[in-house]
Each structure stands twice: as structure tokens, then as C-alpha cells.
Homo-oligomer: A and B are copies of this chain.
């Protein structure tokens, strides 16, 4: 059976509280008592029961991270970084994936697993502002990811518009002029890919180029298959872009695969830039130029934010904060050199 404080106390001939004091390194315990208790602990192999401790203290030491899809390498890599960052604060991470479905995101936000967790880091895709506004659960929440809500929650995300502009700027710099954006949502044009689409439009406009809607490839999701499908549709519509800025690396990889099937060379015929810096992008037949968000910084800031809010708010910043970790453009083979012909 399990060993409890009581067992140790009996074995050492002291009270339960004294054992608790030793375990918790309470100052006023005589060396003799401490030693006696410590020995009993060692002999019996006592280990504190976190559940009871948590009940008493009202905290569990567990953070939840909810991302759309663990099978997506971006979120997997991010999750790994969050686990590490949480460990630095003595927190453990409970992972959930919502499959980007609004009902599941809602369930998570509403505290489906409330009270097992001390705080929640959520990356919503489909969740609406009103869903979040109606949230009643008191567990501290911080948001990550591209979607922005005007709500009293900290939000951690890179400056997506600036990052997208950097990517498009790079394509312009290497002489491309018919730059497609692949990865806008088909159904709701203004949803998630919004900011990167805006960055694309803005940078083109800043260079005096029109952001032609015919050069926008629309998708159902942001997996590799979606990128391939959108690229196919774009080519089939008669467009002949000399560059593609993709919503993310997966979409870019799908698009590159399709370009190859159609006999178009990357980068000679079509340069490609992705977003996320997946390790995968480095090892394709043509390595992928990409915008690399600082994932470790995102994870660190998210964990720090939520941990700050957990203390009951003592020392926590007043209003919601917008935190903007950095990003870099990593130039690789997919944008090497000026266009052929």
C-alpha cells in the first residue's frame, strides 16, 4: 500500500504535521527531529501525494495546451517547446488537440477539464470572439496563434503582417512579379489566414503592384494536400505565377509537389516561400525558404504569461497584453536566384 504522512509519523514517533514540516523544509525543526523523520521517510519510501496537496492548496501544477492538431509538425514542435518551458516553472503540461473544430475549442475554453489544470494555453482556429466573451471558467487563459480577439486575454503571436511582408519583399527582391498567395480560406475569406494575406497585399501595394485576387489560392485546410489542391486550381485557372507565398510550410510543400508534377521547376520557374520553419522543409528535394517564428520564445512567453496570471493576479499586469516574439526569414533553395526566361 501507499505510504502516507501518517505512516511516517507513526514510524518516527512524531505528529503528522511535523513530518509535513520536514517535507516542506519548514525552518523551525530541530536537526534531531528532522533526521529522525528523514530516516523514517527513507525507510518507508514515502512520496507526497500531489492530489491531496493540490486539494489543500488549490493548485495542481498542471498547465493545459490545446492546439488544433498534433500531427501538424508546427504544433508538435511548439508543444515540445511548451513542455520544456513549463518544466522550468515546475509545471507539467496536459495536451489536447481540437482538430480545429469550433465545438472542441469551445469545450476546452469552457473548462472541459477545469480544475485539474491551473492554466490554459489555447491556439484557436475557429473559435469566435463571442464564444470567448461568454467564457465563465475562471482558469487563467492565454491565447496563441494568428487569430486576434479584442478580449481581455494575453495574446502571444509574431507580427504576422510584418512577417508576411518580409516574405513577399524577398520574392520581389529576387525579381519576381507575379506572386501568388496560397492558403486563404475558401469559405470565410477574412478568417485565419487573414493577416498573412493582408501582408501580401500591403507589400505588393507598397511596390506599386496590384494584389490580383486571381492569384489567391484558396484552401479548405492547411495541410499538404490543401496546398497541392489550391496550386492545381490556380494553374488550371490559367494563372502562371513566378512565385508563391504560402500560408505555411505544409501548404508550400503541397504546392511544390504539385508544381513538380506539372513540370514546373522550383525555383527557376516558380520561387516558393513558406511559413513556420518546419524541419521537414529543409529536407525536401528543394529546401524551402520560410519565415521562421521563434517557437521557443512563443512557448516561453505563453508559459510565463499564464503562470503570472495563476498567482491570483498578484504582480500580474493589469490589462491584457499583446506579446510579439520575433521571426526570421530563412533563405533556402526554393528562392535561389532570379527567374529563368
| A interface with B by C-beta (< 8 Å) | 2, 45, 47, 49-52, 54-55, 60-62, 69-71, 73, 75-77, 79-80, 83, 92-97, 111, 113-116, 136, 138, 223-224, 228, 253-254, 256-257, 260, 279-280, 282-286
Q: Is the CB of A70 within 8 A of B54?
A: no
**Alpha-carbon gap, A187 to B76, bound state (A):** 29
Q: Is the CB of A70 within 8 A of B62?
A: no
Q: Is the CB of B282 within 8 A of A284?
A: no
Q: Is the CB of A71 within 8 A of B62?
A: no
A138 contact set on B, CB distance < 8 A: 2
Contact of A285 with B285 at beta-carbon distance under 8 Å, contacts A62-B116, A71-B80, A115-B49 already known: yes
Q: Is the CB of A116 within 8 A of B92?
A: yes
Cβ contacts A to B, 13 pairs, < 8 Å: A50-B116, A55-B55, A62-B94, A69-B80, A70-B70, A71-B77, A73-B76, A83-B97, A93-B94, A94-B94, A257-B285, A260-B285, A285-B286
A62 contact set on B, CB distance < 8 A: 94, 116
Copies in the assembly, this chain: 2
10 tightest CB-CB pairs across the interface, nearest first?
A76-B76, A285-B285, A70-B80, A224-B283, A95-B95, A71-B77, A51-B55, A257-B283, A50-B116, A70-B76
Name the distance in Å between A98's Cβ and chain B's nearest Cβ: 11
Contact of A285 with B283 at beta-carbon distance under 8 Å, contacts A95-B95, A111-B47 already known: no
A70 contact set on B, CB distance < 8 A: 70, 76-77, 79-80, 83
Contact of A115 with B83 at beta-carbon distance under 8 Å, contacts A257-B285, A283-B224 already known: no
Name the distance in Å between A255's Cβ and chain B's nearest Cβ: 10
Indicate which residue in B47, B49, B136 contacts A45 across the interface (CB closer than 8 Å): B136
Indicate which residue in B61, B83, B253 contacts A95 across the interface (CB closer than 8 Å): B83
Indicate which residue in B49, B224, B260 contacts A282 across the interface (CB closer than 8 Å): B224
Q: Supply 19 further A-B pairs (C-beta < 8 A) apart from A70-B76, A92-B113, A94-B94.
A: A47-B115, A50-B113, A51-B54, A51-B60, A61-B116, A62-B94, A71-B73, A71-B77, A73-B73, A73-B76, A83-B96, A83-B97, A92-B116, A94-B95, A224-B279, A228-B283, A257-B284, A257-B285, A285-B285
Q: Is the CB of A51 within 8 A of B115?
A: yes
Name which residue of chain B comes closest to A283, CB basis.
B224
A69 contact set on B, CB distance < 8 A: 80
